Amino acid sequence: MTARILVVDDVPANVKLLEARLLAEYFDVLTAGDGQSALAICEKTPVDLVLLDIMMPGMDGFEVCERLKANSRTAHIPVVMVTALDQPSDRVRGLKAGADDFLTKPVNDLQLMSRVKSLVRLKNVSDELRLRAQTAHTIGLQDLARPDRPDEPGNILLVDARASSQERLLRALKPIADVSIISDPQAALFEAAESNFDLVIVNANFDDYDPLRLCSQLRSLERTRFIPILLVTEQGRDEMVVRALELGVTDYVMRPVDPNELVARTLTQIRRKHCNDRLRASVQQTIELAITDDLTGLHNRRYLDNHLKLLMDRAAARGRPLSICITDIDRFKHINDTYGHDAGDEVLREFANRVRATVRGADLACRFGGEEFVIVMPDTTPEMAAIVAERLRLMVESRAFAIPQADTVHPVTASLGISSLRADGDTPEALLKRADMALYQAKNNGRNRVVAAAA
């Protein structure tokens, strides 16, 4: 993981110390000795994380944080406030100023690295989302270009053996999330796999159960491996924390738990989970958009070009038949000319619906171009294909198409050409070409008919 981290502190020795540790982990480090220059750096350079001291002459850390969060160009940069242990009120102020997390002086390595890595991971996914939103906006896909949504409340599973600590943690978490509580770790694993949690908090307080066992099981199950895990553990159990982080536990808090710290870390993990979920959904959506025809919702030509070869190879390998049908609406130009382009679009949509209603689930229906559609039918002989094509022809002819723009209906017919896979070697281009020639025949023979290519 590489990231650019800005260390802000007015005491040069403190800056040097943090800088050295971060450099040792191969982070890229920038430094600032006061609030003004920190703000200037964040404006000018891409920064992935700010480690911010509170007590500084002139502008203090709270104000720097508030200003960063108020500026749309820097609001997305995570801020970690470096606070003194004996000043719990600083954390409340820090949260109000928009801080994402806290580090306590003197800063220990484990804390430093887990906080930094956790927030840099969050920044990476949210950056990717912002980038995609930008691209989507540029190419006019408003649906994908939604700006960052406000934080949605999270769903937390709290695994905790003791009623007293359950109570205490619940009090801190209730204002920011829906919390389910389970005391038995095995039951918790099932619950996590069954429901949709954004975070599992594991309190390491079981009498004779190793909490890391649950963490590792959560990491290995398909249904739970993307859920962040926050471990709550005893002060001084550093070796357990190190093992937990190695296992893929996302973050930790030490007992006695400071509610503000718990809230900050919980919010970070929930945000990251939501960002990740949206990222995965957006990848899925992008794929669907790339292979779908906008107007009709059928697959588009790009998809057919890629998929037809696969279907043909599979049929050939199994010695199964495969047929395709190209269909073209008759005198479609006339519909456009009479009722307008929008009415034409409406007819295309309805035509696609009738195609969809005719074919089986295993068939592949695509919009090939303007008013031309292709249906690929695996496991279908030429005779069967002729029956399907005839059924579609009738479906189109039998019921006139609604033209809402002119408040009328219009009779529509289509011509269809079919061709079938040759056993002695065939290509998608040749198969399509034969169906296209048959379609041309159907048009020549008077339209509104099915013609099969010669075998």
Active site residues: 371
The SS3 call for residue 374 is strand
Task: List the one residue from 162, 225, 302, 341 that touches ligand GH3 (CB under 6 A).
Answer: 341
Q: Decide if residue 371 touches ligand GH3 (CB under 6 A).
A: yes
Whose CA is closest to 314, among 215, 410, 421?
421
Task: List the one residue from 128, 345, 390, 397 that touches ligand GH3 (CB under 6 A).
Answer: 345
Task: List the one residue from 328, 346, 363, 436 that touches Mg ion (CB under 5 A).
Answer: 328
Crossing angle of helices 35-44 and 61-70, rounded to 10°: 20
Q: Which of these ranges, 220-228, 327-335, 356-364, 430-438, lies near ligand GH3 under the rule CB under 6 A? A: 327-335
**Token couple for 45:** 């350079």
**β-bridge pairing 322-329 and 414-420:** antiparallel
Task: List the one residue from 12, 370, 404, 411 that touches ligand GH3 (CB under 6 A).
Answer: 370
Q: Decide if residue 332 touches ligand GH3 (CB under 6 A).
A: yes
* Binding footprint of ligand GH3, residue count (CB under 6 A): 16
Query: Which of 344/417 has CB closer to ligand GH3?
Result: 344
Q: Decide if residue 62 touches Mg ion (CB under 5 A).
A: no
Query: Which of 35/417 has CB closer to ligand GH3?
Result: 417
Please tell me the number of Cα atoms within 13 Å of 55 on its side-chain side.
7
Q: Decide if residue 397 touches ligand GH3 (CB under 6 A).
A: no
What span, in angstroms and rounded, lies between the C-alpha atoms of 189 and 66?
A: 40
Query: Which of 179/329 has CB closer to Mg ion?
Result: 329
Query: Which of 259/340 has CB closer to ligand GH3?
Result: 340
Task: List the one residue from 330, 339, 363, 436 that touches ligand GH3 (CB under 6 A).
Answer: 330
Query: Which of 197/351 has CB closer to ligand GH3?
Result: 351
The greatest distance separating any two alpha carbons of the chain, rounded to the nearest whole angstrom, comes to 92
Residues 6+ apart with CB under 8 A from 239: none
Burial 124-149 (b: 16+ CB within 10 A, else e): bbbebbeebbeebeeeeeeebeeeee
Q: Decide if residue 443 touches ligand GH3 (CB under 6 A).
A: yes
Q: Decide if residue 160 touches Mg ion (CB under 5 A).
A: no
Smallest distance from ligand GH3 to CB 340, Å: 8
What span, in angstroms and rounded, lies between the C-alpha atoms of 146 and 134?
A: 9
For residue 215, count other CB atoms closer than 10 A to its CB.
24
Q: Which of these ranges, 16-24, 129-137, 242-250, 337-345, lies near ligand GH3 under the rule CB under 6 A? A: 337-345
Question: Tokens 């800088």, residue?
Answer: 19
> Which DSSP category does 299 fall into?
B
Task: List the one residue from 333, 360, 399, 433 that touches ligand GH3 (CB under 6 A).
Answer: 333
Using left for φ > 0, alpha for ψ between -120 and 50, and beta otherwise, residue 236 falls in left
What is the C-alpha end-to-end distance of the chain, expressed in Å? 60
Q: Decide if residue 198 touches Mg ion (CB under 5 A).
A: no
Task: List the one residue from 62, 102, 206, 332 that touches Mg ion (CB under 5 A).
Answer: 332
Query: Which of 397/426 has CB closer to ligand GH3?
Result: 397
Q: What mask, x for binding Mg ion by CB under 5 A, covers residues 340 to 379?
A: -------------------------------x--------
Question: Tokens 């199950």, residue?
Answer: 221
Smallest distance from ligand GH3 to CB 408, Å: 16
**β-bridge pairing 49-53 and 101-105:** unpaired
Site for ligand GH3 in 291-310 (CB under 6 A): 295
Judged by beta carbon distances under 5 to 8 A according to partner kind, the member of Mg ion, ligand GH3, none in contact with residue 443 is ligand GH3
Whose CA is closest to 178, among 199, 150, 204, 203?
199
Smallest distance from ligand GH3 to CB 428, Å: 23
Judged by beta carbon distances under 5 to 8 A according to partner kind, the member of ligand GH3, Mg ion, none in contact with residue 341 is ligand GH3
Residues 6+ apart with CB under 8 A from 225: 218, 219
Q: Which of these ranges, 98-106, 253-261, 324-332, 384-392, lies near ligand GH3 under the rule CB under 6 A? A: 324-332
Contact 328, 371 (CB under 8 A): yes
Smallest distance from Mg ion to CB 329, Å: 5
Does a cis peptide bond (omega within 30 degrees of 0) precede residue 106? yes
What span, in angstroms and rounded, lies between the C-alpha atoms of 296 and 348?
A: 7
**Token couple for 208:** 């004779």
Query: Which of 332/401 has CB closer to Mg ion?
Result: 332
Smallest distance from Mg ion to CB 428, Å: 22
Contact 119, 250 (CB under 8 A): no
Judged by beta carbon distances under 5 to 8 A according to partner kind, the member of ligand GH3, Mg ion, none in contact with residue 16 is none
Whose CA is closest to 9, among 68, 47, 71, 64?
64
* Site residues (vs ligand GH3, CB under 6 A): 295, 328-333, 336, 341, 344-345, 348, 370-371, 443, 447
* Site residues (vs Mg ion, CB under 5 A): 328-329, 332, 371
